Amino acid sequence: MGTHEARVVWQRGEDERFTDHRYSRRHEWLFDGGARIGASAAPSNAKPPYSDPAAVDPEEAFVAALSSCHMLFFLWLSAQRGFSLFSYEDSALGVMSEDRDGRQWVAKVTLRPRVVFDGEKRPTAAEVESLHHESHERCYLANSVKTQILVEGHATGTR
C-alpha cells in the first residue's frame, strides 16, 4: 500500500488584517513530482478579490479526482480486455447539498465519460457498461467517500 502526500501553502498578505475576513483565500498545492497548482476557495464561498476564480477550488478538485480515478481504471481494464481506446473525455458534475444539520457537502457526482474505441476488437454496449461498473467498484476514491457517484457513459467505435 502506498502513501500520498500534498503540500498546501498559504500566507496572509502584508496589508490583510485577517480577523475582518478580508484576506485572500488563494494558495498553492505542491506535489512530489514538482506540479504546482493555484488553488482558492470557490467564488461562491468567498467573492473575488478574496478568492481567485482562475484557480482550482477544493470542490472542483474533488470532482476531478473522482473522474480521474474512474478513468484510470477504465483505461486499465479496457487494455486488459484487449480493447483499444483512442480517447476518453469526461464532463463530470458535482452537486452540493446540505445535510440534516445544515452542513454543506458534495452529495452527488455524475461522471459523463465519452469514450472512443479504435482497433479491430470493439466492446459491445454491455461490455462498456461492465467496464464502467467495474471501474467504479475498483476506484480507490469512490470507495473512500459517502458521495453518490453516478456514471452516464457514452462510447463510440469511430474516431
CATH number at residue 92: 3.30.300.20
Task: Indicate if the alpha-carbon torsion angle 138, 144, 146, 152 is positive or negative.
Answer: negative
Q: Tell me: the pLDDT tens digits for 124-147?
A: 999 999 999 999 999 999 999 999
Same domain, 5 and 34: yes
pLDDT band at 154 (very low <50, low <70, confident <90, very high): confident
Of 79, 55, 60, the closest CA to residue 135 belongs to: 79
What whole-number distance in Å separates Cα of residue 43 and Cα of residue 59?
11
Query: Residue 144 has what DSSP assignment?
Result: G
Q: Provide, rounded to the nearest whole percent, the portion of the chain with pLDDT above 70.
A: 98
Look at the chain and report how many structural domains it folds into: 2
Q: What's the distance, CA 91 to chain centroid? A: 10
Could you tell me the residue range of the domain that residue 29 belongs to? Answer: 1-56
Same domain, 79 and 141: yes
Q: Which residues contact 57 (CB under 8 A, 6 or more apart)?
A: 39, 40, 41, 42, 43, 45, 51
Same domain, 107 and 77: yes
Q: Tell me: the pLDDT tens digits for 23-58?
A: 999 999 999 999 999 999 999 999 999 999 999 999
Same domain, 132 and 62: yes
Q: What's the pTM value of the predicted model, to 2 decimals?
A: 0.93
Residue 157 clears pLDDT 80, i.e. is over it: no
Q: Mean pLDDT throughout 71-75?
A: 98
Q: Look at residue 159 in the predicted model and tell me its pLDDT.
A: 60
